[in-house]
Amino acid sequence: MQEQRDFVPRWVMWIFWLYTLVLILFGAAMFVMGAMLIFEGGSWYYALMGLATVAAGVLLALRRGSGVVVFGIASLATLAWALWEVGFDGWALIPRLAWLSGFGLLMLAFWVVFHRSFAGLRKPVYFASAGVLPVVMIALMVVPLLNPSSIELADPDLVRSRPAEPFSRAMVSVPDGNVAGSHDATNWTSYGGSNLSNKFTPSAQITPENVRRLEVAWHFHTGDNKPEDAKFAYAFQNTPLMVEDTVYICTPSQIVIAVDAAKGTEKWRFDPEVDRKAMSNIAASTCRGVAYFEAPEPAAQCPKRIIWPMVDGRMGALDAETGQLCTDFGENGYIDLNEGTGNEFPGFVAPTSPPLVMRGLAIIGTGQVRDGSERDAPSGVVRGYDAVTGEQRWAWDLGRPGVTTPPPPGETYTRSTPNVWSLIAGDDELGLVYLPTGNAASDFYGADRTEQEEKYTSALVAVGAETGQERWHFRTVNHDLWDFDLSPQPNLIDFPTPDGPRAAVLQATKNGQVYVLDRATGEPILPVVQTPVPQGTDTDEFTAATQPFSPEMPNTVGPPGKEMEVLTESDAWGITPLDQLQCRIEFKRLRYEGAYTPPTLQGSLAFAGNHGGINWGGVSVDIQRGILIMNSNRLPYTEHVYTRETMDELGVVSIFRGKSETPGYMAQRGSKYGARKEPWMSVLNTPCIAPPWGYVSGTDLRTKEVIWRRPLGTGYDAGPLGIRSHIKLTMGTPNNSGSLTTAGGLTFIGAGLDQFLRGFSTETGELLWEVRIPAGAQANPMSYEVDGRQYIVAAIGGHDRMETKLGDSVIAWALPENR
């Protein structure tokens, strides 16, 4: 044996000893963290495996064959434990098996060392431990990830059994020439396609059979790139409008641009020169859209106009044909939305969603009220303005029930009330608009809320479009402590019932619930069940005994079969066992008892977190096929509250009062407690649960069954520590924005963290079209027809806070003209 050892080059032995040292250190770290996990009441596996790994490394360093035996037995035990804990879930097996298979294959690479210098080595044991077991582990991880059934989660029986007759009316007649009140194949007249907000086009030229032939028809650059010296975040979340052969775009700095719908050439642009201080005081500077208004009678100025919001608190009007300010609107073309709200700081109130235009009025919420900064915040009032003159017609101020006039001089609308920052829908036949409300100013502490704030937090409110008088309201969260504000736009559909179609409003939510209510009365069409939820906190906060669940509509936040997923310690995930251990330890330290676990001083886990679930991109509805398309996030958040004394020690102040010494906290100035919320992430900047982290699904509204579901997005443009993996493996990423459905049977969506726009079969979920794009797609696509040619258009400009690539593109795709 001594002679054989002489044949091993010294440099090879040095590399081998480095290998054993890394193995020992890895095992030691696993033992220490495993002991911490045991102390928290968690699994004993990691500490035991850490000891076994250290023992194997020491024995290997001493060149004892028993080291291979220990490693092999520990590997086999780990394989059995991993399959017992998570089954054949490829993603969940990665932190449990990948490191072992890696160390095993490296051991195999040192065959010359083992063959020539190890005492008592048995070759079958060596090759089993260093070859067979690692290969088996790799196969168990990789095969499930490459299995199409893990991606194409469609139920063939449900797909085949769907009725062929149309689900709903494709067109809805409206009075007063309101072009935004109906679905229209040739135009896209409102943010959601129409005021019904279904994000659906009756255009059917592009089909599952020809969608692969789509090509870029035009590519327009807005020129609005984030300035190098910007102290604010950018988010290009715009869904353009198209009316009469002109596309209207609104950029992150609220520049409005008109573009030829067929050629993509600029017609005009208008820069309102938004206050940069306001842009820096909001989460991300954006403009989700503009509104279009056409006066039913000839107007002296701007008979066709674009009305849009600005984050510095203005709403303006432009001539749709020339881009000139409509100086007869408000004061020289602008309305000051800060008026009467009590706002004193740029950006504290920031309207980012377009008004809804109906019955001659532009109806708009105050806008975003900066989350978590100050309890005494500006009012969340909603107002209706004459779309020609800009004169205020009414105000819905929840602190003054029934009173729709402005407050007396020197007074303000009720301060700190839940605001309407997202997108509004409207039924012109009923004369109602549907307002999705947010939270009172302190999102994560509610013991000091008023009775009115409690009543209207996270609620859907129907008010008269011409009067602002409330018709009904429906609260989706009781005593909201999770920032579950209603961000998805309501959808107005004809919902099937045993007694025939019923005019309904469908409201998706951040917590994954989907409510179906009567459009006229607010009465639930599908049952809403008040269900007991976790109780009690470690502060003076109180919790609601129950929360309203909609059990007949699928919640597609979790994986199939676990829609209302309740996490366990074994769900904690990481790329390696060490960052997985970090997440497992945190899971045991955080309070978590399922959905609606309240925020605590101890720290709590919220799942779904306040990003959703379903966020502002909302859902789309193919109203001909009766299929609801929903993209959702599966991303837990950690939520803590802190005493005012702790916040003072940390030097946390409201963003409007200075710069915090410790960033990342929510001051909630004026409340008894501050807060911190963030995605539950490992030290390698990956979520602490295994993929998928985002889904897209199709639900048959007739049967209320999910007919298909699939992970949305790949890790191509993301990865641990922010390093792009460039691996196009469908894993499902967190997503932001929504989808477009077409009468041709297609669903188009970007939304994920990768730079792709995709087209799916609406009926089966099959991926039919995928195109690489130059930036993130954090905006809902739209569609229209010009000269008989259908276009699919999307703003491609990314989102700073989603860490997707920024850009300034608006791209249109269409079938070749010589088709």
**337-358 core/surface letters (b: 16 or more CB in 10 A; e: else):** bbebbbbebbbbbbbbbbbbbb
Q: To 10 degrees, what angle do helices 577-589 and 45-61 make?
A: 150
The closest alpha carbon to 291, from 329, 234, 347, 331, belongs to 329
Contact present, 363 and 307 (Cβ < 8 Å)? no
Annotation marks residue 483 as catalytic: yes
Contact present, 648 and 418 (Cβ < 8 Å)? no
Parallel, antiparallel, or unpaired for β 200-201 and 739-742? Answer: parallel
Report CA Rg, the chain.
Answer: 29
Strand order in the sheet with 241-243: 241-243, 246-250, 256-260, 266-270
Provide the token pair at 710. 């699939």
Residue with tokens 């582990």: 137
> Distance between CA atoms of 796 and 234, rounded to whole angstroms?
12
Which residues make Cβ contacts (< 8 Å) with residue 790, sequence separation at least 6? 185, 201, 203, 205, 206, 742, 744, 783, 784, 814, 815
> Distance between CA atoms of 265 and 499, rounded to whole angstroms?
50
The DSSP secondary-structure symbol of 132 reads: I
Determine which one of 483, 485, 754, 808 is catalytic. Answer: 483
Contact present, 494 and 509 (Cβ < 8 Å)? no
Contact present, 632 and 697 (Cβ < 8 Å)? yes
Q: Which three-class secondary structure state does DSSP give residue 484?
A: coil
- 390 by Cβ neighbours in 10 Å (0-12 / 13-18 / 19+) ranks as buried
> Phi and psi for 503 in degrees, rounded to 5?
-60, 115
Parallel, antiparallel, or unpaired for β 246-250 and 368-369? Answer: unpaired
H/E stretch holding 39: helix 10-39
Contact present, 807 and 796 (Cβ < 8 Å)? yes
Provide the token pair at 429. 């036949």
Catalytic residues: 483
